Amino acid sequence: MNIIVVAVISALLSSLVTLSIGLLFYRRYVRPSLERRLQDLHQDIGRLVETRVRKAMAEALHDLSPTDVLRDRTWQVARSGADIVNEGLNALLGRAKKREGPADHS
């Protein structure tokens, strides 16, 4: 009976030491790396959003005459925003970007 207790205590201590070392490694190396990657993605997405919104707004304001054109441009801006959000989520989740073919451009 004494040997079983010693084996269980030894296993528990070994597990605690392993978990402690793993937690230390995660906090010291992995987490900062992930935070830097997330910050870089955040900045990239911010620049992309700003560029696309400026371009879409410039196009919308350039052709600002009849109501139908305004409605069409507003739809294009909204669709561009949805694409930006989709790409941002895909980047955050680590999914690959889909290739656009020549038929995909509007």
pTM, entire model: 0.45
What whole-number distance in Å separates Cα of residue 98 and Cα of residue 87? 9
Question: Does residue 88 lie within any of the structural domains?
Answer: yes
Residue 14 lies in a domain: no
| Domain presence at residue 84 | yes
Angle in degrees, CA 92, 98, 58, rounded to 5:
80
Q: Is residue 77 part of a domain?
A: yes
Find out whether 106 and 76 touch, Cβ atoms under 8 Å: yes
Nearest to 48 by CA among 97, 105, 15: 97
pLDDT digits (tens, 9 = 90+) for 38-78: 888 888 888 888 888 888 777 767 766 666 666 777 777 77
| CB 37 within 8 Å of CB 93 | no
Residue 52 within a domain: yes
- pLDDT > 90 in the chain, percent: 27
Answer yes or no: is 101 within a domain: no
103: in domain: no
Look at residue 10 and tell me whether its pLDDT is greater than 60.
yes
Question: Which domain, by its residues, includes 72?
Answer: 33-96
How many structural domains are present in the chain?
Answer: 1
Residue 76 resides in a domain: yes
Q: How far apart are CA 41 and CA 84, in angstroms?
A: 13
